[in-house]
Amino acid sequence: MTGIVVGGVELRGAGSVPPGTRVFAEWNESGVNNAAAAVTSPDRWIESHTDSSGRFRVCGLPINTTLLVRAVVDGASVEPVPVVLLDGAIGRAELSADKQVQRGALFTGIVLTDSTRVPIANAEVFIAELSLRTRTNARGAFRFSEVPPGTWTFGVRRVGYGPLDAKLTFAANKSVERQIFLSRVAMLDSVRVVAGGPAMIEFEENRRLGLGSFVTREDLEKERDRRLSTILASLKGANIIGGTNHAWIAGGSGSVREGLHFPDKLEQSMGAKLACYSQVYLNGSLVYKRSTDPLFDINTLQPDGIEAIEFYPSLAVTPARYLDPNMPCGVVVIWSRR
């Protein structure tokens, strides 16, 4: 069952706002159900527009969920209004825009494949300096509702695509909208694992040294119906953090202060906590490099698609190829099947 929010937007001292003013009802679907969390990086939202008298209607909204209803009036601040829809109820939200008050900027956009213009879902978009982070939806869209004025670096990451980092300047009470294009990165056949291939030769050499933990295709076949986090939990020195759907691997020994990752609100809502997370290599590419990067969810990979796994829980047992003295939290190396 879904609900409806109706209301209006007024410009203080000037009556109604122009027709077509954008109105959003936003909420978090990833386990955080409060207005404060929805302010900066909502997981879900539905957009509507005002009519000639400044009235609006937003349909198809979830019930028993905290919603924030906000409007975007260029050059004016609009205080969002929280609404909770009960079964069969219609919510109301009256919004007031004030040009004398300053609020953060609205940052919206869509992430597309550069060659085909196909939307990229589940890409991580973040402004690390502000600890703001969200993911694109099925249409490749994202939004941050409150970005403080200033020039900040934002990044976009998605496995299988080249990363993007750029600087943007945000002004109070303004909106910024961008189309972002990511290039696919080739997963070369030379690093996709086949029996006797270069990656497997290196895997076997590392296994003979016996310094880490190793999972073969044969091991994975026995566990094919289990999540990858469950399989990795049995490895020596591995600390699996997360819940049923999302999980991350941590390691480390001795002093790990430099490698501690402070999860943001989105990661916390998925079950992440302060920990020393291991670097993650996928087919030779580093997909989680440092503590300021978005965490890599190991449960996004299926055991059926993996040929072999190496795990080194600390610097003392990590091969030179993967050794980074600044990241003492261990390394997990995952090789996918052809």
Are residues 272 and 171 part of one domain?
no
DSSP letter (8 states) at residue 278: P
Q: What distances in angstroms separate CA 151 from CA 130, 154, 172, one per listed residue?
A: 11, 10, 12
Answer yes or no: do 212 and 292 share one domain.
yes
Give the end of a domain, one of 79, 98, 117: 98
How high is the pLDDT of residue 192? Answer: 47
Q: pTM value?
A: 0.55
What pLDDT does residue 191 have?
44
> Could you read off the pLDDT of 11-33 as tens digits, one per residue?
988 777 889 999 999 987 654 44
Q: Are 209 and 290 in a shared domain?
A: yes
Q: How far, in Å, CA of 283 to CA of 235, rounded?
A: 20
Domain boundary among 147, 182, 217: 182
Cα–Cα nearest to 143, from 107, 174, 186, 191? 107
> Same structural domain for residues 83 and 202?
no
SS3 for 128?
A: helix
pLDDT band at 183 (very low <50, low <70, confident <90, very high): confident
Q: What is the DSSP letter of 129?
A: G
* Whether residue 286 sits in one domain with residue 313: yes
pLDDT tens-digit series, residues 56-101? 999 999 988 889 999 988 888 898 999 998 876 789 999 999 988 8
Higher-scoring residue by pLDDT: 301, 309? 309
The Cα–Cα gap between 203 and 214 comes to 8
Domain shared by 169 and 252, yes or no? no
- Please check whether residues 113 and 61 belong to one and the same domain: no
Domain range for 213:
198-336
Domain of residue 69, CATH code: 2.60.40.10
Which residue type is seen at 158? R
Is the pLDDT at 186 greater than 60? The verdict is no
- Whether residue 269 has pLDDT greater than 90: no
Whole-number average pLDDT of the chain: 84
Distance of CA 248 to the CA centre of its chain: 13
* Domain membership flag for residue 230: yes
Q: How far is CA 213 from CA 52, 103, 224, in A?
A: 66, 51, 19
Q: Which residues, 6+ apart, have CB-to-CB distance to 66 below 8 Å?
A: 27, 33, 34, 35, 38, 82, 83, 84
Contact 266, 284 (CB under 8 A): no
* 242, 263 contact by CB (below 8 A): no
C-alpha distances out from residue 245 to 17, 69, 270, 278, 300, Å? 43, 29, 8, 19, 9
Q: Answer yes or no: do 59 and 177 share one domain.
A: no
| Residue position matching structure tokens 């000639």 | 52
Please report, for residues 19, 60, 104, 284, 300, the alpha-carbon distance to residue 272 in angstroms, rounded to integers and kept in the order given: 43, 30, 27, 25, 15
Task: Let me know whether 202 and 304 are in one domain.
Answer: yes
Q: Are 74 and 111 contained in the same domain? A: no
Give the whole-angstrom CA distance, residue 285 versus residue 281.
5
Q: Is residue 189 one of the residues assigned to a domain?
A: no
Q: Nearest Cα to 287, choosing from 337, 334, 234?
A: 334
